[in-house]
Amino acid sequence: MDLSLFKNELQQELAAILEYWIQHTKDEQQGGFCGRIDNDNICYADAPKGAVLNARILWTFSAAANLTNDWRYAAMANRAFAYIRDHFVDKEYGGVYWSVTSKGEIHDSKKQIYALAFVLYACSEYYIALHSEPAKQLAIELYRVIQEKSYDPIQGGYFEAFARDWQPLDDLRLSNKDANEKKTMNTHLHILEAYTCLYRLWPDAQLKQHIAGLLQHFDKHIIDQTTGHLHLFFEENWQVKGDTISYGHDIEASWLLLEAAEVIGDEVWIGRMKELAVKMAEAVVIGLDTDGGLWYEYEAAHNRLIKEKHWWPQAEALVGFYNAWQLSDRHEFLQYAFNNWAFIKQYIRDNKNGEWFWGITEDHVVMPGQDKAGLWKCPYHNGRACMEIIRRIGTRQLSGRSA
């Protein structure tokens, strides 16, 4: 496969993903978007609606509108922002609710910093695409709330979750599979992603310092300097808890960390994150199967590979390996991206009903009972991967370089 064909196929895939969400996910009766859709494209009308899903819809269609100038994408972004503003923003205590009911009333009022970060990220991209001043103000407001309520002034970094009124919680977990710890890699990664996007439109000096501080925490605490993998959970003082390896997060972080360094223009961090991006991509290679797909996780304590291939690590592998190839000119990284795309087309993409399946088992069987759209299943990972590589190939072709 050459880069022109790769780009062309990803452009078609992006259009197909976005068309799926336009055609199948709007809740015409209750407003916003359906809270859950299954693999048969059946919308569960009573399902709660999550802040993360709605933010990721807003980000994806804002980014797509910015890339293509398609008015239909702008209309979806407008719909998503209006619903977030009217139903998810807590006008009494600040921040956003984790979820609302199908009718848009409070369902789970906890303040998960991960969710605040995603709404911040989405509002920033929405402003970049459509110049919505209310979105910019909401993004800045959420940044200030995160800094005021979640930032740890003693050990650095950010605490995971709070009650609606910002009081402590016993259960801090983002999902049932997560460890109940005060700090997590995942939340720090997506605060970084959100702050980076905000800095593009609001180059505030303090915001730049916080981005650099997050890069320092990744370098010092979160990335295992020996293996190149990420530690996932931490006590308040950054003591590592657990030894699970998440291949998808490893490869996602490899390119997002470099992007953050480049956006703030810090040459020292750019150099360091380029070095780490290649090292982290090398570390992820062990998680690739012979079919080109990326396994989900490895539990080191039990020497157990979780033999599932979820949709989102595949999307991040496309970008992460392509990025590693750009940085190193090592052709094997580009081949990993090509192989992964072939795997996605064969096993992850739903060629009958549209979009991507949640994932497949070791035997290449679609995982049963999973969402096509839901609290976690969204157009953000796969849509972003398509857009990111489309841009990168365009830049590389202009410079006269190809595979």
Asked if residue 317 lies in contact with residue 294, where contact means CB atoms within 8 angstroms, the answer is yes
Query: How far is 189 from 294, CA to CA, in rounded Å?
Result: 20
- Write out the two tokens for 156: 């650095």
* Residue partners of 32: CB distance under 8 A and separation at least 6: 26, 49, 54, 79, 80, 83, 87, 104
pLDDT at 396: 62
Instruction: Determine the distance from the C-alpha atom of residue 300 to the mean position of all C-alpha atoms in its chain, rounded to a whole number.
Output: 25
Query: How far is 127 from 135, CA to CA, in rounded Å?
Result: 6
pLDDT at 177: 82
pLDDT at 174: 85
* pLDDT tens for each residue of the chain, 403 residues long: 899 999 999 999 999 999 999 999 999 999 999 999 999 999 999 999 999 999 999 999 999 999 999 999 999 999 999 999 999 999 999 999 999 999 999 999 999 999 999 999 999 999 999 999 999 999 999 999 999 999 999 999 999 999 999 999 998 998 888 888 999 999 999 999 999 999 999 999 999 999 999 999 999 999 999 999 999 999 999 999 999 999 999 999 999 999 999 999 999 999 999 999 999 999 999 999 999 999 999 999 899 999 999 999 999 999 999 999 999 999 999 999 999 999 999 999 999 999 999 999 999 999 999 999 999 999 999 999 999 999 999 866 544 444 4
Asked if residue 241 lies in contact with residue 234, where contact means CB atoms within 8 angstroms, the answer is yes
Query: How far is 319 from 10, CA to CA, in rounded Å?
Result: 12
pLDDT at 402: 40
Q: Dmax of the chain from CA atoms?
A: 56
Rg over alpha carbons for the chain, rounded to the nearest Å, is: 20
* Residue partners of 252: CB distance under 8 A and separation at least 6: 189, 313, 316, 319, 320
pLDDT at 301: 87
Match 């996605």 to its residue by tokens.
344
pTM of whole model > 0.95?
Answer: yes
Query: DSSP per residue over 246-299, as a string?
Result: EHHHHHHHHHHHHHHHHHHT-HHHHHHHHHHHHHHHHHHGGGB-TTS-B--EEE
Using the 8-state DSSP alphabet, how is residue 168 labeled? -
- Could you give the domains of the chain? 3-398 (1.50.10.10)
Positive or negative CA dihedral for 368, 369, 371, 377? negative
Helical segments of 25-165, H only:
51-68, 71-83, 113-130, 133-149
- Give the amino acid at 10: L
Positive or negative CA dihedral for 40, 42, 46, 50? positive
pLDDT at 397: 53
Match 């953050």 to its residue by tokens.
260
pLDDT at 399: 44
* Distance (Å) of CA 19 to CA 72, 209, 373: 10, 39, 14
pLDDT at 263: 98
